[in-house]
Amino acid sequence: MHLPPVGLGTMGISDASTVATAIEIGYRHLDTAQIYENEGVVGDGIAAASIDRSELLVATKLWVDRLAGDDVRRGTEASLDRLGLDAVDLLYVHRPRGDYEPGGTLPALDAVREDGLATHVGLSNFEPEQLATAREHLDAPIAAHQVEFHPFFSRRELLADAQTHGYPLVAYSPLAGGAVFDDPTITDIAATHDTTPAAVSIAWVLAHDNVVTIPKASSREHLRANREAAELDLDESEIERIDAIDREQELYPE
């Protein structure tokens, strides 16, 4: 599936006006999840925006306690009710744990898709072998895989799987929880371009084939700046400098 380079990650957003502002600015990919407890907020933001629903790509994720085969449909319907939508464009398995069982969860997701409650099925926080197993059980192709991906933590084997199988890797936490603002390599490159470390980090993420990103922002200024970061071109030497940062910081381990 085609995803815009920069979408809106909504974890922690509790004001529907933020979502409406993001849509007004030009965001078309909105990402939420049951565990964020803000699907209603996102739905209210969509309803308040003066954009036709067909122009938006709305994604949500089933939490680990809604992944048993006979719970998937009920969980999906509950999310749709909170969002105020008839269907989502992308429905993820949030993490392959809890009630997740490939032979039960994934056929149930196919059924939800076939019945029109979701257009595409995605996965999140899977390991390579879990992706391979998922392909054995899903009728539909994996539409996207959402993972933590930023200058201090990137799983090259997951990127390789996305590139090999032709689906987008959706990078969450591209700013590493704000840690990029203090990294000397990133701040130096930002100064060279007269821009921010946030823009450099997002541009580095987007420099990888098959990768899009969903940074969270609340203010109009930061929402606009994150989208504009897609226009920043880093040269090969700058990308290599960021690649060489000797630091590993996973924000959301299993």
Cα distance between residue 221 and residue 39, in whole Å: 24
Residue pLDDT, tens place only, 114-168: 999 999 999 999 999 999 999 999 999 999 999 999 999 999 999 999 999 999 9
Query: What is the pLDDT averaged over residues 20-31?
Result: 98
Domain borders along the chain are: 8-177+205-217
The C-alpha angle with vertex 53 and arms to 149 and 90, in degrees rounded to 5, equals: 35
- pTM, two decimals, is 0.97
Question: Residue 247 has what pLDDT?
Answer: 82
pLDDT at 254 > cutoff 80: no
What tokens appear for 149 in the block? Answer: 């991906």
Query: What is the pLDDT averaged over residues 57-84?
Result: 98
Cα distance between residue 233 and residue 207, in whole Å: 8
Question: Residue 253 has what pLDDT?
Answer: 87
Lowest mean pLDDT: which of 76-90, 111-125, 166-180, 238-252? 238-252
Whether residue 210 contacts residue 163, with contact meaning beta carbons closer than 8 Å, is answered with yes
Q: Which of 5, 3, 2 is nearest to 227 (CA)?
A: 5
Q: Which of 68, 77, 149 is nearest to 102 (CA)?
A: 68
Whether residue 99 contacts residue 71, with contact meaning beta carbons closer than 8 Å, is answered with yes
Cα distance between residue 176 and residue 224, in whole Å: 19
Question: Residue 122 has what pLDDT?
Answer: 98
249 vs 80, more confident: 80
DSSP 76-129: HHHHHHHHT-S-EEEEEE--S-TT--HHHHHHHHHHHHHTTSEEEEEEES--HH
Tell the CATH superfamily of the 8-177+205-217 domain. NADP-dependent oxidoreductase domain (3.20.20.100)
Whether residue 144 contacts residue 237, with contact meaning beta carbons closer than 8 Å, is answered with no
Residue pLDDT, tens place only, 224-238: 999 999 999 999 999
What phi, psi does 96 have (nearest 5°)?
-85, 65
What tokens appear for 203 in the block? Answer: 């541009």
Question: Residue 104 has what pLDDT?
Answer: 98
Cα distance between residue 1 and residue 165, in whole Å: 12
Cα distance between residue 162 and residue 29, in whole Å: 19
Average pLDDT, rounded, for the chain? 97
Active-site annotation, residues = 36
